[in-house]
Amino acid sequence: MKVFCGRANPTTGAVEWVEEDENYDYHQEIARSSYADMLHDKDRNEKYYQGIRAAVQRVKERGERAIVLDIGTGTGLLSMMALTAGADYCYAIEVFKPMADVAKKIVEKNGFSDQIKIINKHSTEVTVGSDGDMQCQANILITELFDTELIGEGALPSYEHAHTHLVQERWEAVPHRATVYAQVVESKRMWSWNKLLPFSVQSESGNCEKSIVPFSEMESCPGAPCVHDIQLSQVAQCDFTPLSEVLSMFRVDFSKVVSSSPASHTVQFKPVTSGKAQVILSWWDIDMDPAGTIKCTMEPHWIHHPPQDVPWRDHWMQCVYFLPDEEPVLQGEAVKLMAHHDDYCLWFSIQKNRSDGSDQEDVSLQRPICRCEAHMLWNRPRFGELNDQQRMDQYRRALKEVLKADSVCLCVSDGSLLPVLAHCLGAEQVFTVENSAVSHHLMEKMFKANHLEDAIKVIEKRPELLNSDDLENKKVSVFIGEPFFTTSLLPWHNLYFWYARTAVESHLSNNATILPQSASLHMMVVEFKDLWRIRSPCGNCEGFDVSLMDEMVKNSLNFRESQEAEPHPLWEYPCRSLSAPKEAMIFDFRQTVPEQSISSEGSMKLIRNGTCHGAVLWMEYHLTDDITVSTGLLRIADEKGNCQWSPHRKQAVYFFSSVIEPVTEMICPTEVAYSICFNPKTGEIGMEFKSIF
């Protein structure tokens, strides 16, 4: 059945009614899921198999039938492992219907349909009894309910229910237990992902500097309540200073009844060096057996021994938590780190001893909530972008080139500080458009804190709805933007700036300056170190045929052609350039959006040996003739082609449908041809790539 879905187009800004299959959201969830990543995680699969075999053996040694309950079965892989290990029967629970349907087919294809029952329910709705979903309770509980934060997918309430209703009085659990670790660090870089730091703007004359500061509510805000999951191994060790050893914060024993009630766990430590406690790095490991001899760990490479053997995975990463405030600590002076959790979320606090020997009162038993609204508008990379002084200096230099004493500026970007720069550099009048009430309120508080509320007027309107009264009957002589919009996912979605510029054409003066004056789309063929795994066919996994999963993902990816390019923060995912970067298309903001499509065809010559996994695309913004800001490739770091990417924006990755690699030393592709088309009516960019031998 087809349904009409209303969606705001992130590029054009228009609200569109699109006819979609009723399962569109399901298809997209499958397409963007980590199923392939999990199935390719050999370390995870082997450890689960070892743990399952050991659990089945323990049950058999007691003279019992091995009845397995597999919660969150996915493809049914762990259930099939259990039967291969000697289990008698398995109840496999999968709440996501499309996945449950595929699991049934995979189980049947592998010859286990008589021994595995797929139950399409949430585990807390499963019943036991002659008329229930399960004929009897299980004595082996297998689960894969974990996310990067361990408990973020509802593991605790699911375990609590299963222990009470779905398993026998004595049960084996795989995994057997989990341990959560933490390390207290000082990190200017990571702290800049959570707080807006003061910055200085030199006046037009250069005689004085104005310091721009966040408002007090923002400074004291505990931040967003969600974890920042990250490929921590890609953060350079020079970017943080450890203030503690790695601390074992708490354990969850899955072979005993688990509680989902809020709890706190305290560990006392002595700082290894003095500094400001700002950030908590955290990860976990799981023991698959009671003795802890089968361990699967998420620790980053600098903890792992040897470092080069650390398994890569994207479905489980590491966590960055931000303390509500910086806490100065002294080397050797005892401090308490507290880990708090409810049924879905973790957070941390520092507790120091008072001078009288008593403990400082801890008020962190409730989950931290953003009070300043900034964390509702800006995500972690956006905070980092706003705190990037080098980037801000590029905008300052560009504005200094174009601004005059009588300049009337209009800024269109979400939550931008460019209006502050424009005012400090001498613009006569500055207007800024904010699409939402949240961004409007936030920026007004920001301007007021810096005594700019009379100098910068905030307009809460869509650009096409602006009228002369909003602009105080003035013509705009300088139209500016970063561009940055919170609804943008792919790099070209920020071309909304072009549509906004077109919408305000009647409010611009003759020869108005547009900054940036243009943007260019760039691309490059790359070989990924690991990211290719998330889209690589699984086929056979640990001896089981799961190729139906490949078909399901492929169909979902093809469900909507505009989704072929995916956004990824490539600074976390190393890759090598196999071609030189190439400018594929340019968008001239000095002109209005054209009626006709813009097309580009050509090829990229392969200059290095390697496997062509896909093409990376990004935007570069030309502020003036000689000042350009890149949101993608910063540089190719060495002769091997290793790339350095902007950490503030996601780049677009187009995974080739079939990997392009040399067939023999004599037969290999020499170029990758491309065809790219920008449709101004939809704001979408279509693309095709093929190899040339």
Give the position of tokens 């003035």: 474
Q: What is the pLDDT of residue 659?
A: 63
Q: Walk across the sheet containing 598-605 and list its strands.
A: 598-605, 671-679, 684-692
Nearest of 297, 503, 478, 323 to residue 401 by alpha carbon = 478
CA distance 228 to 247: 19
Annotate 104-170 with DSSP letters as a single string. Answer: HHHHHHTT-TTTEEEE-S-GGG--BSTTSSBSS-EEEEEE----TTSSTTSHHHHHHHIIIIIEEEE
pLDDT at residue 158 greater than cutoff 60: yes
Q: What are phi and psi of 651, to 5 degrees?
A: -100, 165
DSSP state of 506: G
pLDDT at residue 205 greater than cutoff 80: no
Split at pLDDT 50, 70, 90, the class of 556 is low
Split at pLDDT 50, 70, 90, the class of 18 is low
Nearest of 48, 46, 102, 109 to residue 74 by alpha carbon = 102
Which pTM value belongs to this model?
0.93
Specify the higher pLDDT residue, 363 or 375.
Answer: 375
pLDDT at residue 661 greater than cutoff 70: no
- For the chain, percent of residues with pLDDT exceeding 70: 90
Structural domains for the chain: 35-174 (3.40.50.150), 178-377 (2.70.160.11), 388-515 (3.40.50.150), 518-692 (2.70.160.11)
Six-digit token pair at 628? Answer: 């350009």
Q: Is 543 exposed, middle or buried, given 0-12, 13-18 or 19+ CB atoms closer than 10 A?
A: exposed
CA distance 456 to 512: 19
Please compute the mean of the pLDDT values over residues 145-172 and round it to a whole number: 96
Three-state DSSP class for residue 500: helix
The catalytic residues are: 144, 153
